[in-house]
């Protein structure tokens, strides 16, 4: 598996598939039984310091020394990564504000909840502005608002042209923020491709699915007659009077054309997005066991 460029790659698989193990190999926390882990061409096991220089990683919700404050814990990371003092001070305040923990900057970590510690861990991973960010289920332990904020952070990282490699159990999370998806099962990589290609190639009927939301009601008959007749559309499900799921064949060009056609129909479409169930459908087709 080779990942390059600036994007977000979602890493999916059942419990025990090897997601965390893969990330641990990439941070030299464990050794690979075979094969090599290279970052920018540098073997992580042979030259960890050089390989992990441009990497920020969050693996398995680490604990921070309870007697330290976030400012101290992050200062330690900044010192280890060679951030100049003035820059480190500024970056710590910025990053902690980004994870919404600025009010807790000088309180001891020992008093923090699991979610608060996870926010500091995310701040630690982002502190040095790394080129590559590896996140192992980063929203673990976070409340819904925290999860949403982490998703926003990852989206921002994409805008800053970073490479994010993120394992997750949350398919909707991966679907929302990732450009590509890799699936692993029993230690073997099953697929690695763009999200749309994966959902098209491996969904149960080989089609893509989008969901549209409408500003006004649409009846069953209109949905079936008007939308189903569009080019490449294979079937239409009316989820509720203002929400319709459309299955269509073909790739990104057909999706673009479908969007154009639906907009032209003037049915009050206010949103158009890949169906959250498409990735789940693909996942369930590819991953047969939960363990």
Partner 1 sequence: MTQPTSPTVPDLKKRVLPSSVSQIGTITKYELVNYFRSRRFFVLLIIGLIISALLTTLVGYYRPSSFLSSALNFYSGWWTNTITFVIILSGIFYGGDSISGEFQNKTGYFLVANPLRRSSIYIGKWLGALIASIIILGVFAAITIGNGIYYFGLNIPNQLWESLLFSVLYLIAVLGFTFFFSSLFKSTSMSILVTAILFLFAFRLIEMLVESLVKIEPWFLITYGAEIIGNVLLDPYPITVTQGFGRDAFTSYAVTIPEGVAILLAYFVVTAVLGLLLFERREFT
Q: Does 43 bind partner 1 (CB under 8 A)?
A: no
Question: Which residue from 43, 129, 237, 261 is in contact with partner 1, where contact means CB under 8 A?
Answer: 129
From 2, 11, 4, 1, select the one nearest 181 (Cα to Cα). 11
From 52, 8, 44, 14, select the one nearest 28 (Cα to Cα). 44
Q: Are 122 and 114 in contact (CB under 8 A)?
A: no
Q: Does 174 bind partner 1 (CB under 8 A)?
A: no
Question: Which residue from 98, 131, 213, 261 is in contact with partner 1, where contact means CB under 8 A?
Answer: 131
Question: Which residue from 33, 34, 67, 288 is in contact with partner 1, where contact means CB under 8 A?
Answer: 67
CA distance 130 to 163: 9
Question: Which residue from 137, 149, 173, 180 is in contact with partner 1, where contact means CB under 8 A?
Answer: 180
Instruction: Name the residue nearer to partner 1 (CB basis): 92 or 262.
Output: 92
Question: Which residue from 105, 189, 284, 286 is in contact with partner 1, where contact means CB under 8 A?
Answer: 189
Instruction: Name the residue nearer to partner 1 (CB basis): 45 or 169.
Output: 45
Q: What is the DSSP string of 2-67?
A: ---SSSEEEEE--TTSSHHHHHHHHTTSS--SSS--EETTEETTTSHHHHTTTEEEE-S-----TT
Q: Does 197 bind partner 1 (CB under 8 A)?
A: yes
- Site residues (CB under 8 A) for partner 1, limited to 1-40: 2, 4-7, 24, 27-31
CA distance 79 to 99: 20
Instruction: Tell me the number of residues near partner 1 by CB under 8 A.
Output: 59
Q: Does 251 bind partner 1 (CB under 8 A)?
A: no
Who contacts 69 (Cβ-Cβ below 8 Å, separation ≥6)?
Answer: 105, 106, 107, 108, 109
The binding site for partner 1 (CB under 8 A) comprises: 2, 4-7, 24, 27-31, 48-55, 57-68, 72-73, 76-77, 79-83, 108, 121, 124-125, 128-129, 131-132, 161-163, 179-180, 189, 191-194, 197
């Amino acid at each position: 598996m080779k990942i390059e460029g600036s994007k977000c790659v979602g890493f999916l698989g059942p419990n025990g598939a090897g997601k965390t193990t893969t990330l641990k190999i990439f941070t030299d926390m464990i050794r690979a039984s075979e094969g090599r882990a290279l970052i920018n061409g540098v073997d992580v096991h042979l030259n960890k310091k050089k390989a992990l220089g441009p990497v920020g990683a969050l693996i398995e919700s680490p604990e921070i020394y309870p007697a330290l404050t976030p400012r101290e814990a992050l200062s330690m990371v900044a010192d280890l990564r060679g951030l100049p003092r003035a820059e480190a001070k500024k970056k710590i305040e910025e990053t902690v504000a980004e994870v919404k923990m600025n009010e807790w900057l000088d309180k001891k970590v020992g008093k923090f909840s699991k979610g608060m510690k996870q926010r500091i861990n995310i701040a630690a991973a982002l502190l040095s502005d790394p080129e590559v960010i590896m996140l192992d289920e980063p929203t673990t332990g976070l409340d819904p608002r925290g999860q949403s904020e982490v998703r926003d952070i990852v989206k921002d990282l994409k805008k800053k042209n970073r490479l994010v490699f993120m394992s997750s159990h949350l398919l909707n999370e991966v679907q929302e923020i990732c450009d590509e998806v890799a699936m692993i099962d029993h230690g073997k990589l099953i697929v690695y491709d763009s999200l749309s290609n994966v959902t098209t190639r491996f969904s149960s009927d080989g089609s893509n699915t989008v969901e549209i939301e409408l500003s006004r009601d649409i009846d069953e008959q209109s949905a079936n007659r008007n939308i189903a007749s569009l080019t490449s559309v294979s079937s239409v499900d009316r989820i509720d009077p203002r929400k319709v799921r459309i299955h269509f064949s073909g790739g990104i060009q057909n999706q673009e054309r479908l969007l154009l056609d639906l907009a032209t129909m003037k049915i009050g479409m206010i949103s158009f997005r890949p169906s959250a169930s498409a990735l789940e459908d693909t996942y369930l087709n590819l991953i047969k066991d939960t363990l």
